Chains A and B, each alone.
Chain A
Amino acid sequence: MNFKLILNIAIHLLRARLKQSIVAAVGVTFGIAMFITLVSFMHGLNNMLDELMLNRTPHVRLYNEIKPTEHQPVFLSEQYKKSVNFISSIKPKDRGKDIYNSKAIIHYLKQDSRIIDVAPKITTPVFFNSGTIEISGVVYGIDAVAEEKLFRLSDYIIEGNISDLTQNNSIIIGKGLADKMMLKRGDILKVTTAKGNLASLKVVGITQIGIAELDNTMSYTSLSTAQKLLGAPKSYITDIQVKLHDITMAPALAKEFSAKFNVDAIDYQTSNSQFETGSTVRSIISYAVGIVLLIVAGFGIYNILNMMIFEKMDSIAILKATGFSGNDVKWIFILLSMVIGAAGGLFGLLFGFIFTSIIDVIPFSTAALPTIKTYPIDYNSTYYFVGITFALSTTFIAGLFPALKASKVDPVEIIRGK
């Protein structure tokens, strides 16, 4: 088969019906452009929301859960080993929230090549005192450098600076708390711990994460201030937060660490399963809409090719009479369709890129997302690749059926019919 000649004939046929061909190509362009725009925008949003969660959520968190002892004494008894034992009224055991041997664990984890970094943390409930009123809240004792590296905390600090936490007895509080207690930078805040220890801390900054519940209750201080607050020793740490290079490995690693260090471990996927579902559903919707648009464009091409074949019966008959086989004729029409698909598809990619660029500069500011200034767009070459592949495959299929019809046209009937 002489590909060049076949393509040449296809293009000549196409040029003879230029207007129709352009309409068909515009259909594809529109479909692909919308597909690219939609998918890029949706994934941009997804990524933004992912970041919102991921930035503040460790991939794996090691901690001590308050829970009953798994192996109750009765299970150790020889006498009742083969019996079914019912124990009622079991109370959880207080193992302490302190992670045992935390320094060694952190040192070990930092050597692991699968891990980006590790950040220690102390979580403790407190009361913030404002005059006679007590507001319950949480103090996070953090290692400012590690926390900044892993969770980009400074993105959410609207007043002050994260490095101010290195001062003794300093605290950064949520915006909700600050508004409630009429506190501003430089004020002194009185804090009571659950055990009754009282401390005065200087407010050095205000954070806004965008989730009211968190902004109303949480505050950050340094590890040493938190340890002092609790009257705990230097090694006291309640959480070890781990960030991984590959987030999909989190469940497996959580299990591994849990067994190795004899602590509880929770992975990102388990703690945010509802969030993952949301992302997946949004992806499916955007792909589904894109594919539907392309199928509609495909039907347009199918119709136009069908009409074109009807008009070009004479040409098909001549081609067949002068030595082109049914197969050649079939490929002429498939190529014709794919030329429309390729041209329409490439313009679609271009327009998709233009549309996404326009969306990218539309201002989008919300209190919930202090770092976001415009609508988020995910520029990913995969979408462009998928788009052009779709364009070519739908037009191939749309062209295939009319092409098969054309290949079966009997030249005798057309020549005799005249």
Chain B
Amino acid sequence: MISKVLETKKLSKFFYDPVKFQVLKEIDMSISSGEFVSIVGKSGCGKSTLLYLLSTMDTDYEGELFINDELVTGKTDKEFASIRNEKIGFVFQFHYLLTEYNVLKNVMLPGLKLGKLSEEEIEYHAMEHLRTLDMHEQALKMPNQLSGGQKQRVAIARALINKPLIIMGDEPTGNLDHKNSNLVFDIFQKLAIEHKQTLLIVTHDNDFATKTNRIITMEDGKIIK
């Protein structure tokens, strides 16, 4: 039996400012282990909002969210933080590296937070991930010395450091040119095929979406396909 990494039951989300508005309407969905899923839809359809709910960063919703068959709705801030740390890897549109740390430290940071391995082991794993992404030569550079595509690869390495159940991407290629987009997609695909990594990517790049295993299309807060 293939285990479900993510599952939602009647997930609804309201915005209250300026007027009450239902962004997500009773969404039922699930993602199984090893799937490479993309969420597409027009701007404002709620796809990013859904991703934030699934990532546990936004906890103000109705309905239930299961991660790895475990109900996480209603947990404390601290428990959510450790779920994000251990089970979810993030890649954002704007790279979001800590400008105070060099590339290697940025990758190591979630691992250090988890604290399961020694610093040397974490550093070794971080270098391994950077090497597979062909970024090991930039390991000691500061983020502001890197190009956009390079930063995104570092962000992916950081997402991988704690061997997460699922990697979530919020328009990870949205800010990249065609060449770098393809590069990032190839990395994701390689992760999905070679490492059976579960991936959930929000995008409005249809070329990107069509190459994934499964496409979830959203419109007006509902999943239509």
The chain A residues found within 8 Å of chain B, CB to CB, are 2, 5, 9, 12-13, 15-16, 314-315, 317-328, 410-412, 415-416, 418
Which of A2, A12, A415, A416 has the largest number of chain B CB atoms within 10 A?
A415
26 cross-chain CB contacts under 8 A: A5-B112, A5-B113, A5-B115, A9-B100, A9-B109, A12-B98, A12-B101, A16-B99, A314-B96, A315-B98, A315-B99, A321-B92, A321-B96, A322-B113, A323-B81, A323-B85, A323-B114, A324-B85, A325-B78, A325-B81, A326-B81, A328-B81, A412-B57, A415-B96, A415-B170, A416-B48
C-alpha spacing A326/B59, complex, angstroms: 14
Residues of chain A with a CB closer than 8 A to B114's CB: 323
Within 8 A of A (CB), among B4-42: none
Tell me, yes or no, whether B169 is within 8 Å of chain A by CB: no
Q: Is the CB of A418 within 8 A of B109?
A: no
Q: Compute how far the CA of A368 lies from the CA of B162 in the bound complex, rounded to whole angstroms.
A: 77
Which of B85, B86, B96 contacts A318, CB < 8 Å? B96
Which residues of A have CB within 8 Å of B80? 325
A321 touches B90 (CB 8 A): yes
Q: How far is the CB of B219 from chain A (nearest CB, A)?
A: 20
Which residues of A sit under 8 angstroms from B81, Cβ to Cβ? 320, 323-326, 328
Contacts of B99 in A (CB 8 A): 16, 315
Which residues, 144 to 174 on B, are CB-close (under 8 Å) to A?
158, 162, 170
A322: which B residues are within 8 A, CB to CB? 84-85, 90, 109-110, 113, 158
Quote the shortest CB–CB distance from B216 to chain A (angstroms): 20
Q: Which residues of A contact B93 (CB under 8 A)?
A: 418
B69 at interface by CB-CB < 8 Å: no
Taking Cβ atoms with an 8 Å cutoff, the residues of B that contact A are 48, 52, 55, 57-58, 77-78, 80-82, 84-86, 90, 92-94, 96-101, 109-110, 112-115, 158, 162, 170
- Knowing A2-B113, A412-B57, the reply to whether A321 touches B84 (Cβ < 8 A) is yes
Determine how close the nearest CB of chain A comes to the CB of B113; give it in whole angstroms. 5
If over half of A's interface residues share one DSSP class (helix, strand or loop), that class is named, otherwise mixed; here it is helix
Asked if B100 and A327 make an inter-chain contact with CB atoms under 8 angstroms apart, the answer reads no
Which residue of A has the minimal Cβ distance to B115?
A: A2
CA distance A418 to B174 in the complex (A): 12
* Chain B residues whose CB sits within 8 angstroms of the CB of A319 once the complex forms: 98
A29, B115: Cα distance in complex, Å: 36
**What 18 new A-B contacts, CB under 8 Å, besides A321-B57, A323-B113?**
A2-B115, A16-B100, A315-B99, A320-B81, A321-B92, A321-B96, A322-B84, A322-B85, A322-B90, A322-B110, A323-B85, A323-B114, A325-B80, A410-B58, A411-B57, A412-B52, A415-B96, A416-B48
Between B48, B52, B80, B97, the greatest number of chain A beta carbons within 10 A of the residue's beta carbon is seen for: B52
User: Is the beta-carbon distance between B57 and A318 smaller than 8 angstroms?
Assistant: no
Asked whether, in the complex, the Cβ of B100 is within 8 Å of the Cβ of A12, the reply is yes
Q: Which 7 A-B pairs have the closest CB atoms?
A: A323-B85, A325-B81, A12-B100, A322-B110, A325-B78, A16-B100, A323-B84
The complex places the Cα of A150 from the Cα of B214 at a distance, in Å, of 98
* Distance between Cα atoms of A126 and B100 in the complex (Å): 85
Check A323/B110 contact, CB under 8 A, given A328-B81, A411-B57, A412-B52.
Answer: yes
Q: Which chain A residues border B98 with CB–CB below 8 Å? A: 12, 315, 318-319
Contacts of B58 in A (CB 8 A): 410, 412
Q: Which of B57, B78, B113 contacts A327 (CB 8 A)?
A: B78
Name the residue on B nearest A329 (C-beta). B81
Least Cβ–Cβ distance between A313 and chain B, in angstroms: 11
Question: B92, B97, B112: which contacts A2 (Cβ < 8 A)?
Answer: B112
Contacts of A318 in B (CB 8 A): 96-98
Contacts of A320 in B (CB 8 A): 57, 81, 84
A351 to chain B, nearest CB (A): 30
Which residues of chain B are near A315, meaning CB under 8 Å?
98-100
Identity of the chain A residue whose Cβ is nearest the Cβ of B84 in the assembled complex: A323
A415 to B101, CA, bound (A): 20
Smallest Cβ-Cβ distance to B58: which chain A residue = A412
List of B residues within 8 angstroms of A12 by Cβ = 98, 100-101
Cβ of A317: which chain B residues have Cβ within 8 Å of it? 96
Could you say which residues of chain A place their CB within 8 Å of the CB of B82?
Answer: 323, 325
A13 with B100: CB separation less than 8 A = yes
**Whole-angstrom distance between the alpha carbons of A319 and B109 in the complex?**
9
